[in-house]
Amino acid sequence: TAEYLIALGEACADLGGDVMVFGSPAQRSLQPGMTREQAYANAADVFRMCLPRLADRGVRICMEPLTPQETDFVNTCADAVELIQMVDQPNFCLHQDVKAMVGAEREPIPVLIERHADILGHFHVNDTNRLGPGMGETDFRPILAALVRVGYSGWVSVEAFDVGPGIEKIARDSFAYMQETLRQVRGA
């Protein structure tokens, strides 16, 4: 697994990228009979093996907490932070995903953004309806306001799973909504 992550990281760097999100819910679920502690220790060992080589290429891995409906491994920001601290490598960061935070966290998303701003490496804006921002019920104003407040300057990407309205429409509408919301948040 470490060699595979290294190969992916090298491909990322070769393509000009610098961030890989570690999501893959089905591939990271606990094996039968494995405890949470064993899984975290195994994962930490794998990440410790690959992250120094990826650092040499300027690539970070961002751990994405996902809902318990998707996986049983790393469900909350606190879970991800625990693993990040175990690994203790500067290029192992937190990824925050709006849909996952709505489904797994007990605290408001802006609080989680502010608490973990120092290790935030990537951010997904997606609604709980699996479409882009502005296409569902989630109010992204407080979320974007928190990102602005903490000075987040990394990638913010749309992760839509329902492409029924059309990929181009989702991209166009999401971009327009995000720009307008950011304008409002910044008071411009």
Whether the pLDDT of residue 104 is over 70: the answer is yes
The pLDDT tens digits for 105-154 are: 999 999 999 999 999 999 999 999 999 999 999 999 999 999 999 999 99
Is the Cβ–Cβ distance between 39 and 30 less than 8 Å? Answer: yes
pLDDT range class, residue 27, cuts 50, 70, 90: confident
Distance, in Å, from the CA atom of 134 to the CA atom of 81, rounded to the nearest integer, reads 29
Report helix, strand and coil shares of the chain as percent, to nearest 5. 50, 15, 35
**pTM, to two decimals:** 0.94
Two tokens, residue 50: 């690959």
* Structural domain harbouring 119: 2-186
CATH code, 38: 3.20.20.150
The stretch 47-61 carries a mean pLDDT of: 98
Number of structural domains found in the chain? 1
